[in-house]
Chain A
Amino acid sequence: MLEAFEILTTSGVVLWSKSYAPVGSHVINSLINDVFIEEKVVPQSGPVGGAFPVYKKEKYTLKWKRIKEFNLIFVAVYQSLLHLGWIDKLLENISTIFIDVYKDQLKGNRARISVYKFDAYFEQQVRELEDNTGSFTDGLATGTDDKKDALVSSDNGGPPPPPVPGLIKAQHQAAPSGAISDEATPPGTPDISRTSTPVTGHLLAGKAGPAGRVSRRARKAANASANASSGDEISRKGGKSTPKSSTKKMRKWDADGFADEDDGVVLDYSAPADQTSADAPVVEAVSQDDMGRRTGKGEFVLKDLGDEVHNILDNADAEKGKDSALSGVVGSGFNAIGGFFRNIVGGKVLTEADLQKPLKAMEDHLLKKNVAREAAVRLCEGVERELVGKKTANFQSVDAALRIAMEASLRKILTPTSSLDLLREINAVTAPTTKQQAPRPYVMSIVGVNGVGKSTNLSKICFFLLQNNYRVLIAACDTFRSGAVEQLRVHARNLKELSARENVGEVELYEKGYGKDAANVAKDAVAYGAANKFDVVLIDTAGRRHNDQRLMSSLEKFAKFAQPDKIFMVGEALVGTDSVMQARNFNQAFGSGRNLDGFIISKCDTVGDMVGTLVSMVHATGIPIVFLGVGQHYGDLRGLSVPWAVNLLMK
């Protein structure tokens, strides 16, 4: 069953939402974070061949549709266990209807504050699509139909009586539970809801304690207000004609008593239409013929709403057909001339055909900057997705628009989600502010392919730390290649000399010779560092080919034994297409739950402006670049400056 449906703007405002079960707002927030902002998750199209991309979070599956023209996002949330074939259709239809109905309001500047009374349309669509599929929800549907029938026939006697004012207030207090009582349990016969439980096996089983309490309250309320609730039923049917004071919000209940009652929503067995009954205090006397008709099943359907919705959908289809028909001989000639002028003057709505050639040029440009093909293609696809359907600004050519979009895209990919401040992190670990944490050395380890400069960059980091007066222990865990320990020894000697001369930090080398297991040496080094009050332990590892499973598998043990606070991978700026696989394989080598923490791109001084490796590596993993090696000296280590990198790439 559908859990929730939301219509939100890119500026983060929920214009309209409907939830059948409480779905935490973090679910949709993480969709926005992971897919739209960080682009961590590559949206995959649905397994059943659905048209819309799918995102999975916890037990929910989210499908969404973006309407760029109005900056709207339509999101449908449902349980991952279920395969709802009609979600695609629902998204398509709802987006069309919503935009058609509220076109004027969306265009105006008050779009964010207007109230969208969209419930009736939505329910109509859900009901229709569910009926069409005629699937597992049949049992549920008939169950609710019966109940509705009972309710509707019971109040056939005349216009519904005005609700008792005091009662409405009480309902308002316990809004969710009130809603349940009105819809799910007909007055006096609360057992029906229980019997329908096995039929709707996919529904959440409510928490026993609060649920029981809520339903008791609900029953009480329902018993007290048999007439009022049926009045509400009518008002819900009336849909458009009755003013709804407010729609139910997905309220975040705080730490007060209302949280339990919120849980009670899972008791909602008659899934569609749990929403509007709690409010609508004013009920107009509406004659039944005006409102709708009864179907063969006894279902009470709005008369005009269905027709209106169908009209809207048909119109949309017809327009689509017209568009394709117009691109005939005459149309294309006219469009070509218009497009040519618009290209100069601006104000042109971009299409895929417009972008094809400039995008190809842009892709070539990126490839020339040493960006891996995979990354370049994905960047271009992202930019294309961004631009298609957009209007260029005045006097802006397609190329200029593309360039701006690409720059923004590069900037977004390179900017880290949270900036790393190494010194402060070290301080937090070695001198914790709270009493619970015992001070311990900060452990960093460096991994990478052979010959990329692991030891060199390690000594550069060591030099930087020494400048800040830390006591550093270098652990030589390359027990494999001959000469590796001696190399580090030379670095350690140099650094010791330098630090002694400037009277800054201290450095020591921890070595255990060759042939030992690297993970054990690392573990011993950390223990040694902790015992001797070192601030930082830097672990050098053996270089390994990223596609050699035998060598890579030892990294998992290494991460488990040494427990490094940070694992940095060194990559050369010289490497081309291989950078993507390197980054990806190393990122996965540490087992589940442990990833790389950052990249160090070495040898940046040797490539000039061809710094595409930066983009390739970040693109492959979503892990930020922390340092750049820009020379042969110990001091030639730099932080990443995003504007600098973007400038070089776009030059």
Chain B
Amino acid sequence: MSSQAGWDSVSGIATLLLSGNLTAIAIAIVVAFGVPILLHYFFYRAAASPPSSNFLLLGPSGAGKTAFTTLLEAKSSLASKTTHNTHTSQVSTLITVTLPASVPTASNRYRSVNDPSLKEASRNPIKYRLRDTPGHGKLRASQGIAELQTMASSNDSKNKLRGVIFMVDTAALVDEAVLRDTATYLHDVLLILQKRSLGKGRSSTKRATEIPVLIAANKQDLFTALPPGSVREKLEAEIDRVRKSKTKGLMDASMDTADVDVGEDEVLGDDDGQGVFSFKLMEDVGIKVDVTGGAVKGESQEEVGSGVRRWEEWVGMCL
């Protein structure tokens, strides 16, 4: 025989493996049992690790976005219950937060209170991811808005955006300049969401999944803070003014080459800029807007983070 069983040639190795010696059997057993276990290990881990529901935190600078994220982060961590102080952010961050078990979620809406699976859920609480963005005027376009666009348009289930939280400083909203700035930002955000929901609805039969917006009226603990209802009125009136002046304003320099197509897409709300703007109009295009009050700081005698409870409930209703 030309090809002897041995390790010196390829055919030799093949022969060795096919002959019934002990090494070959051992290798065969290891491969046969090991591969399925390894495969399972890899795929299982990859699928389970990141929570798939994302929330985006937007808002002007100084509204309390970073403070809110640190509070949630501290709440969901088991070890430390202290929150760090915050300053103006320069980059956006993505954090994973656990929803407290006491907060009801939308997926458990129809379950009975006595349902044993609720107890099960309270033992391993739901996780979601929250992206904090810087609110400074120069960084909004490159980070906040850009993030919103990529997250809203991505089809990847890992990046799917479940909701937008727009943080507002209610104590500073009395100031005309702050109100104008806040409303302009909120207008831009809503316009992007509207374009997305209308654009997808037109191209395919099924409408895009809704992305609800929560306007988190922060700093309710301060004496000068406006109540949520008044925040809503003020923002609606101001967005109405923004909308009016946007339709009348100058075109961008980039527009002159492309054909001028200022359709209804460019106007927020589906009434073509007629009438008065209200957040109700957004519901017609599939964007639900809620205004809810809360406070990231304050109430020192109570439990940490009780002021953000209602926002967490809103998050729960999106899950």
Contacts and interface: CB of A to CB of B under 8 A. Distances in A.
A637 interface: yes
A643 B70 CA distance: 33
B95 A112 contact: yes
B72 to A, nearest CB: 10
B127 to A, nearest CB: 13
Interface stretch (B85-93, B190-198, B208-216): B85-93
A114 B84 CA distance: 9
A639 B251 contact: yes
Nearest to B90: A10
A604 B86 contact: no
Interface string A408-446: 100110011111011110011000000000000000000
Nearest to B62: A29
B80 A113 contact: yes
A11 B92 contact: yes
B204 interface: no
A110 B77 contact: yes
A67 to B, nearest CB: 14
Identify the interface centre among A71, A408, A424: most chain B CB within 10 Å of its CB. Answer: A424
Interface string A612-651: 0000000000000001101000000111111111000000
B222 A424 contact: no
Interface stretch (B2-10, B111-119, B130-138, B160-168): B130-138
Interface stretch (B32-40, B102-110, B253-261, B270-278): B253-261
A115 to B, nearest CB: 5
A341 interface: no
A138 B222 CA distance: 44
Nearest to B224: A255
Nearest to B252: A641
Interface string A446-486: 00000000000000000010011000000000000000000
Given A12-B90, A25-B85, A419 B137 contact: yes
Contacts, number: 145
B87 A8 contact: yes
A356 interface: no
Given A13-B66, A408-B142, A639-B251, A249 B85 contact: yes
Contacts of A419: 137, 184
A477 B271 CA distance: 45
Interface string A217-235: 0000000000000000000
B248 interface: yes
Contacts of B181: 418
Given A112-B70, A645-B253, A416 B89 contact: no
A254 interface: yes
A76 to B, nearest CB: 15
Interface string B210-243: 0000000000011100000000000000000110
Nearest to A36: B90
Nearest to A428: B176
A418 B137 contact: yes
B80 to A, nearest CB: 5
Nearest to A11: B93
B253 A638 contact: yes
A639 B87 CA distance: 32
A638 B249 CA distance: 9
Contact of B84 (A29, A112, A628): A112
Given A419-B137, A421-B184, A421-B245, A14 B253 contact: no
Contacts of B242: 421, 424
A463 to B, nearest CB: 11
A251 to B, nearest CB: 9
A11 B132 contact: yes
A230 B140 CA distance: 51
A254 B171 CA distance: 12
Interface in A26-45: 28-29, 32-33, 36-38
Contacts of A637: 250
Contacts of B66: 11-13
Given A11-B66, A11-B90, A255-B223, A639 B249 contact: yes
A630 B256 contact: yes
Given A640-B252, A641-B253, A14 B139 contact: no
B90 A37 contact: yes
A109 B77 CA distance: 12
Nearest to B96: A109
B253 A639 contact: yes
Contacts of A644: 252-254
A417 B91 CA distance: 16
Nearest to B137: A417
Nearest to B74: A113
Contacts of A418: 137, 177, 181
Nearest to A29: B88
Contacts of B251: 638-639
A167 B91 CA distance: 44
A254 B87 contact: no
Contacts of B70: 13, 112-113
Identify the interface centre among A11, A114, A249, A419: most chain B CB within 10 Å of its CB. Answer: A11
Nearest to B188: A419
A250 interface: yes
B245 A638 contact: no
B180 A424 contact: yes
Contact of A11 (B91, B137, B180, B184): B91
B73 interface: yes
Identify the interface centre among B77, B86, B134: most chain A CB within 10 Å of its CB. Answer: B86
Contact of A12 (B95, B134, B142): B134
Contacts of B88: 12, 29, 32-33, 37
A638 B250 contact: yes
A412 B137 contact: no
B82 interface: yes
Contacts of B132: 11
B142 A411 contact: yes
Given A14-B87, A644-B254, 20 more contacts: A8-B87, A11-B91, A11-B93, A12-B90, A12-B134, A14-B86, A29-B87, A37-B136, A113-B73, A113-B84, A115-B82, A250-B85, A254-B222, A412-B142, A415-B137, A416-B138, A423-B248, A627-B250, A639-B253, A644-B252
12 contacts: A10-B91, A11-B90, A12-B134, A113-B73, A114-B80, A250-B85, A255-B223, A412-B139, A416-B137, A417-B137, A421-B180, A639-B252
Interface of B: 66, 70, 73-74, 77, 79-80, 82, 84-93, 95-96, 132, 134, 136-139, 141-142, 176-177, 180-181, 184, 221-223, 241-242, 245, 248-256, 297-298
Instruction: Give the 5 A-B CB pairs with smallest separation, nearest first.
Output: A12-B89, A644-B254, A641-B252, A641-B254, A14-B85
